[in-house]
Amino acid sequence: MTPSAQAMDGWRQKVELAQLVAKRKDKLIVYAFIGHGWNEPSDAFVRDVLTKWEFFRATYDSFVLVELPVAVNPKDIDETTQKLMKKYKVINVPVLVVTTPEGKKVAEMEYQLAPLSRYIRKIEQIERRYASKGEE
């Protein structure tokens, strides 16, 4: 299996199912646009952040995680991923796009060489902001 075909443990790859789960459970969606195997920052993001237990623990209750592999050749990117890249104006990978269950973009996080704790703090801030809007 090539690196681009390997799924990240704990991440969904079926967008429609993830959207259904998010709506049913009122969870935010985290789309991870990742260039496996050809994009070193993507590989580092996966290795250092997205597959860490601490990241899963921070996202488990309030988020549905969706992995979207991005091929080096745009012609090789599946149609669903292409549509989401266009909708959320994704140009560079790796990037996380956080949306409401209805698809409204609420945040974006590009990969930067930073400690895991920075990403966890950001995810927790997004979660609190979304929860407080639901209480209004």
pTM (2 d.p.): 0.90
Give the tokens for residue 54.
Answer: 């601490």
* Residue 70 CB-density burial (10 A; 0-12 exposed, 13-18 middle, 19+ buried): buried
Q: Lowest mean pLDDT of 55-59, 121-125, 132-136, name the range.
A: 132-136
Is 122 inside a domain boundary?
yes
CATH number, residue 74: 3.40.30.10
Domain of residue 92, residue span? 8-135
What local confidence, expressed as pLDDT, does residue 132 receive? Answer: 85
Domain count along the chain: 1
Give the Cα separation of 62 and 3 in Å (integer): 28
In terms of Cα–Cα distance, which of 31, 33, 38, 7 is closest to 98?
A: 31
Residue owning tokens 């309030």: 62
pLDDT tens readout for residues 42-92? 999 999 999 999 999 999 999 999 999 999 999 999 999 999 999 999 999
Q: Lowest mean pLDDT of 12-16, 107-111, 129-133, name the range.
A: 129-133
Tell me the mean pLDDT in the region 103-124.
95
